Amino acid sequence: MPLTFDDLLPRARALPRGGRRALLGIAGSPGAGKTTLAERLVRALNGDGPPWVAHVPMDGFHLADAELDRLGRRDRKGAPDTFDAAGYAALLRRLREETGEVVYAPGFERVLEQPLAGAIPVPPEARLVVTEGNYLLLTDGPWARVRPCLDEVWFCDIAEEERIRRLVARHEEFGKARAAAVAWVLGTDQRNADLVAATRERADLVVPAAALPAAPLPEG
Ligand SMILES: Nc1ncnc2c1ncn2[C@@H]1O[C@H](COP(=O)(O)OP(=O)(O)O)[C@@H](O)[C@H]1O
Ligand SMILES: [Mg+2]
């Protein structure tokens, strides 16, 4: 039987053990569907009850353009060394520690393409934190500190052609011209995608694109 979205829910629900907060990671290449999967999981798990599942994207740890300019790395935006990986790992550790206070995570503003501090509150009641991003399973430098903070990591698997189609469409949706979107996706983004694809075997579970319904669910 192929894995379905409904199979994922009990597996995620079982992660917090003995009342302790659990962290679930979702990894995958750019455009693989990580954010969409995380949003749907969080919505389905929270249902209409009091929220006990939070969503913390790795994207909030993009370095700001001003810092990328200073480092001379603006043209590599999205590569592993254009994120504050150590800051992300430190936030994950704080989330595990459970100090009883709200932990604020940064968000990523897609139109400005800039991080935004203090955008995502994780309340002390959150028993499961779903965090998602490209580089959760990398083992270089500070990225190596991420995996030990996570209870499980799932990997979004998708045919390369479909991933590229979706990613180009998303860049266009957020304001890039088609030619610029294609050039970015097949250039800078592709190197990052290849790096991520090589981490797939370290995942605890591979989630095929078919496990998500094709049409995005209506809001609410
Ligand atoms: N199951 C799906 N069916 C169709 N389109 C999808 C599906 N999941 C995601 N998408 C679309 O593909 C694009 C990339 O998905 P996203 O979740 O943003 O990927 P990631 O966070 O891995 O970069 C988005 O525009 C999203 O709306
Ligand atoms: Mg995303």
Q: What is the pLDDT of residue 220?
A: 47
Helices 188-197 and 178-186: crossing angle, nearest 10°?
40
Q: What is the pLDDT of residue 135?
A: 98
* Tokens, residue 28: 């995958």
- CA nearest ligand 1 atom 11, residue: 166
Ligand in nearest proximity to the CA of 32: 1
Domains defined along the chain, listed by start: 5-208 (3.40.50.300)
Residues 6+ apart with CB under 8 A from 172: 178, 181
- Indicate whether residue 33 lines ligand 1 (CB < 6 A): yes
pLDDT in tens, the chain (220 residues): 789 999 999 999 999 999 999 999 999 999 999 999 999 999 999 999 999 999 999 999 999 999 999 999 999 999 999 999 999 999 999 999 998 999 999 999 988 889 999 999 999 999 999 999 999 999 999 999 999 999 999 999 999 999 999 999 999 998 899 999 999 999 989 999 999 999 999 999 999 999 986 655 555 4
Q: What is the pLDDT of residue 217?
A: 52
Distance 92 CA to ligand 1 centre (A): 24
Nearest 5°: phi and psi at 131? -120, 140
Distance 100 CA to ligand 1 centre (A): 34
DSSP 202: G
